[in-house]
Structure 1
Amino acid sequence: MEDCGALFATERYGSGESWHYVAKDGAMESTRDGREDEPRGSSFGGLLKSVFLPQGYPESVSGDYLQYQFWDTVQAFSSSLSGTLATQASLRGVGVGNQEATVAAATVTWLLRDGTGMLGRIVFAWLKGNKLDSEAKKWRLFADILNDVAMFMEILAPFFPAWFTFIACTSGLFKAVVGVAGGATRAALTVHQARRNNMADISAKDGSQETLVNLAGLLVSLILIPLVTDNPALTISLFFLFTALHLFANYKAVRSVVMETLNEERLGIALRRFLHDGRVLTPMEANRQEPVFLGFRETLPIKLGVRLQEVVQSPEELRLALMRKGAPFLLGITNGCVRVCLAAHAHTRDEIRAACQAIWLSDVLSPSRQHGGLSGMVHKSYKLMDTEFDAFHKGLEAAGWDVTRTLLDWDEWRLEWKPKIR
C-alpha cells in the first residue's frame, strides 16, 4: 500500500472547501477533500459565487438569504420589463416622435414631475420613516405594489393628453415614495441578513445581482420595444403579465424572510399562542403567520413611549399607577388608544413586557364599543404579566428569538418619577 503520509493539519474555508496537509518524504503536501490541489475559484460556478454572493456564504448570511434573493431577482427582472414599457409611454407622452411637441413643454413636464417627487420623498420620510424598520415586510411589499400602480399610470397617461402632466406628477410622487420605502426596507432586511457585521458586503453583492438582472432585462427589452411600438393592446397585456409576476415574486420574497427580532405583530402572535396553550412559537412559525399587507386595525391602536400627560391626568392617578409593583412603565387607555409611558431606566426586557401588556389590552378591548372599568382592565393586565411574563420571556430565548433588541415602535419620551407622590 502506498504511503499517504502523516496528517498534521486541516483547514476549512467556510463550508465550501476543506484542505488536508500531510508530511510525506520530508515535504508538505496538500489535498482538497481527497482530491488533487486546485486553485480556489477556478471553476465557473466558483467564480459566479465569489462575484455575486457575500464572502463566507452561506455561514455569513441568514438562513433565508438564498430564497429571498431568488424571488427578489425574479421581481427585479419583471419590474425591469414593466419599467421599459412605462418609460416608452412616458417618452411618447412628453412628445418624443411628435413634431408638434416642443422641448420646453416636455422639459417643464419633466421638472414638475421631479419636483413633486422630491417633495414626496421628504414628506413620506417624515411621516413614516420610523415605521420602516418595525414593519419592513409590509412596507417592502407596499412599495412594490405602489411602483406597479405608478408604472400603470405612466402607460395610460398618453391616452389622456389633457391630464398628462397631472398623471405624470402623481406617478412621480408614487415613485418617490417607492424609492424611500424600498431603499429603507432593503437596508432593514440587509441588517437582518448580515450575520458577521457584513452589511456592506451583502449590500454590494445585492447591487451586483440587481445590475446583472437589469442587464438581462435590457436585452429582453431590445426585443420587446419593436413589438409594442404603436401597439397599445400588446403593451397593456404584457404590462399586466409582468406585473402579475412581479407581485407574486414580491409576495414570495417577503414571505420567505424569517426575522428573529420582535416587532408588534410577531410579539402579538407569539404572546397569543403562549396564553392559549403555553407554547412559544419559533421565529419560523411566527413569521409564517405575520401579515405582510398594510391594513386597518381591528383592535385598539397602541402607542409606545408617549408623554406622561397622555397616560395620567392628575397626581392622584399617577400615585395609583405607581402602586404597581415598581414596573418601569405606566400604562393607560385614553381616547380609544392603549398608551405606554416608559421609565428612563427601563431595559429591553421591560420594553417587551410593556408591549405585551399593551397588546393584551388591545386584543380584549374592541374599538367598536364603549368599555367601563378600564382601570380594572389595566390592573388585570399587570396581574397577568406578573404571573406569565417570566415564563414567556424565557420561552422566547429558548425558541431562538433575539431578546437583546427589538423592532417595537417606541417613541423617544422617557420619564423619571419621584418615589413618593403627595
Structure 2
Amino acid sequence: MEDCGALFATERYGSGESWHYVAKDGAMESRRDGREDESRGNSFGGLFKSVFLPQGYPESVSGDYLQYQFWDTVQAFSSSLSGTLATQASLRGVGVGKQEATVAAATVTWLLRDGTGMLGRIVFAWLKGNKLDSEAKKWRLFADILNDFAMFMEILAPFFPAWFTLIACTSGLFKAVVGVAGGATRAALTAHQARRDNMADISAKDGSQETLVNLAGLLVSLILIPLVTDNPALTISLFFLFTALHLFANYKAVRSVVMETLNEERLSIALRRFLHDGRVLTPMEANRQEPVFLEFRKTLPIKLGVRLQEVVQSPEEFRLALMRKGAPFLLGITNGCVRVCLAAHARTRDEIRATCQAIWLSDVLSPRRQHGLSEMVHKSYKLMDTEFDAFHKGLEAAGWDVTRTLLDWDEWRLEWKPKIR
C-alpha cells in the first residue's frame, strides 16, 4: 500500500479552498482537498469571483449580499437601457440633427439644467441628509422611482419645445436628488454588508459589477438606437417595459436586505409584537414587515434629541419631570408631537428605551387628543419599567445589534443639577 505521508497542517482560503500538508520521505507535500485538477469552467469561475466579488466572499459579507446584488444588477441593466432612451430624447430636444439649432442655445440649456441640479443637490442634502441612514431602504427605493420619473420627463420633453428648458431643468433637479439619495443609501447598505470592516473592497467590487452591467447595457443600446430613432411609440413602449423591470428589481432588492440594527420602523414592529404576545421578532421577521415606501404618518410624529425648552416650559415642570421619572431622558408631548430630551450620559440602551416609550405614546394617542397627556406619559414610564428589561434581553437573544442604532437622534444633550431651587 502506497505511503500517503503524515498530515501535519491544513489551511483554508475562506470556504473556497482547502489544502493539506503532509510529510513524506523527509519532504513537505501540499495536496488540495477534493479533486486535484480544476476544470476550465471552475478556473474561470474562480477568476470571475475574485474580480467581481469581495475578498473572502461569502464569509466577508452579510447573508443577504448575493440576493441584493442580483436584483441590483437587474435594476442597473434596465436603468441603463432607459437612460439611453432618455439621453437620445434630450439630444433631440436641444436640436441635435436640426440645421436651425445653435450650439449656444444647446449649451445654455445644458448649463441651466446642470446648475439647477447642483443647487438641488445642496438643498436636499441639507434637508434630508440625516434621514438617509435611518431610512436607507425607503430613500433607496424613492431615489429609483424619482429617477425613472425624471427620465420619463426627458423622453416627453421634445414634444413640448416651448417648455423644453423648464422640463430639462426639473429633470436635472430630480436627478440631483437621486444622486444624493442613491449614493448615500448605497453607502449605508455597504456598511451593513461589510462584515470585516471591508467597506472599501465591497464598494470597489460593486463598482466593477455596475461597470460590467453598464457595458452590457451599452451593447444592447447599440442595437436599440437604430430601432427607436424617429419612432416615438416604440421609444415610449420600451421605456415603460424597462421601467417596470427596473422598479420591480429595486423593490425586490430593498426587500432582500436584512438589517440587524434598529431604526424607528424596525423597533416599532418588534415592540408592538412583544407587547402583544411577549415574543421578540428576529431581524429577518421584522425586516420583512418593514415598509419600504415613504408614507405619511397617521400617528403622532416623534422627535428625538430635542432641546429642553421643547419638552418643559418652566423650572417647576422640569422639577416635577425629574421627580416622576428618574431616567436619563425627559419625554413630553407638545404641539402634537412626542419629543424626547436626552441626557449627556445616556447610553445606547437608554436611547432604545426612550424611543420605545415615544413609539408607544405615538401609537396610543390620537394626533387631536389634547387632554390627559401627562397621565399617558407617566403610564409610558411605568410600562417600560415593567417590560423594557425583558424586551431588551429578547432583542439581544433574537440577533439584533443593540450596541448601536440607526435611530434618528438629533445632537442636543442635556446636563442637569441634582437639585433645583
Q: Same fold (TM over 0.5)?
A: yes
Number of equivalent positions: 421
Q: Deviations over 1:170-193 (max 9, x none)?
A: 000000000000000000000000
Q: Deviations over 1:140-199 (max 9, x none)?
A: 000000000000000000000000000000000000000000000000000000000000
Asked if the contact 2:146/2:174 (under 8 Å) is kept, the reply is yes
Q: Distance in 2 between matches of 1:183 and 1:406?
A: 21
| Secondary structure of 2:39 counterpart | coil
Equivalent residue runs for 1:258-337 within 5 Å: 258-337=258-337
- CA distance change for structure 1 residues 39 and 55 in 2, over 3 Å: closer, same or farther? farther
Q: TM-score, normalised by structure 1?
A: 0.98
- CA distance change for structure 1 residues 376 and 236 in 2, over 3 Å: closer, same or farther? same
- Residue 40 of structure 1 deviates from its aligned partner by 12
Q: Distance in 1 between matches of 2:288 and 2:317?
A: 41
Asked if the contact 2:336/2:368 (under 8 Å) is kept, the reply is no
- CA distance change for structure 1 residues 272 and 42 in 2, over 3 Å: closer, same or farther? closer
Q: Distance in 1 between matches of 2:308 and 2:272?
A: 28
Asked if the contact 1:31/1:37 (under 8 Å) is kept, the reply is no
Q: Deviations over 1:228-284 (max 9, x none)?
A: 000000000000000000000000000000000000000000000000000000000
Q: CA RMSD in A?
A: 1.3
Q: Deviations over 1:331-385 (max 9, x none)?
A: 00000000000000001000000000000000001214444x1000000000000
Q: Distance in 2 between matches of 1:368 and 1:149?
A: 36
- Residue 296 of structure 1 deviates from its aligned partner by 0.2
Q: Deviations over 1:23-60 (max 9, x none)?
A: 11222111111432779997000000000000000000
Asked if the contact 2:332/2:340 (under 8 Å) is kept, the reply is yes
Moved more, 173-182 or 4-13: 4-13
Q: Deviations over 1:102-153 (max 9, x none)?
A: 1111000000000000000000000000000000000000000000000000
Q: Distance in 2 between matches of 1:355 and 1:325?
A: 15
| Secondary structure of 1:176 counterpart | helix
Asked if the contact 1:41/1:47 (under 8 Å) is kept, the reply is no
Q: TM-score, normalised by structure 2?
A: 0.98
Q: Where do 4+ consecutive residues of structure 1 move more than 2 Å?
A: 34-42, 368-371
Q: Distance in 1 between matches of 2:183 and 2:347?
A: 30
| Secondary structure of 1:21 counterpart | strand
| Secondary structure of 1:153 counterpart | helix
- Residue 324 of structure 1 deviates from its aligned partner by 3.3
Unpaired segments ≥5 residues, structure 2: none
- Residue 302 of structure 1 deviates from its aligned partner by 0.1
- Residue 309 of structure 1 deviates from its aligned partner by 0.4
Q: Distance in 2 between matches of 1:237 and 1:345?
A: 59
Q: Distance in 2 between matches of 1:75 and 1:205?
A: 17
- CA distance change for structure 1 residues 379 and 40 in 2, over 3 Å: closer, same or farther? farther
Q: Distance in 1 between matches of 2:324 and 2:232?
A: 68
Unpaired segments ≥5 residues, structure 1: none
Match of 2:406 in 1: 407
| Secondary structure of 2:78 counterpart | helix
Q: Deviations over 1:65-92 (max 9, x none)?
A: 0000000000000000000000000000
- Residue 225 of structure 1 deviates from its aligned partner by 0.1
- Residue 421 of structure 1 deviates from its aligned partner by 1.9
Match of 1:176 in 2: 176
Q: Deviations over 1:380-412 (max 9, x none)?
A: 000000000000001000100000000000000
Q: Distance in 1 between matches of 2:83 and 2:249?
A: 16
Asked if the contact 1:348/1:404 (under 8 Å) is kept, the reply is yes
Q: Distance in 1 between matches of 2:399 and 2:41?
A: 35
Asked if the contact 1:306/1:341 (under 8 Å) is kept, the reply is yes
- CA distance change for structure 1 residues 53 and 337 in 2, over 3 Å: closer, same or farther? same
Moved more, 203-212 or 318-327: 318-327
Moved more, 316-325 or 404-413: 316-325
Asked if the contact 2:54/2:205 (under 8 Å) is kept, the reply is yes
| Secondary structure of 1:67 counterpart | helix
Q: Distance in 2 between matches of 1:38 and 1:245?
A: 37
Q: Distance in 2 between matches of 1:71 and 1:286?
A: 21
Asked if the contact 2:53/2:205 (under 8 Å) is kept, the reply is yes
Asked if the contact 1:30/1:37 (under 8 Å) is kept, the reply is no
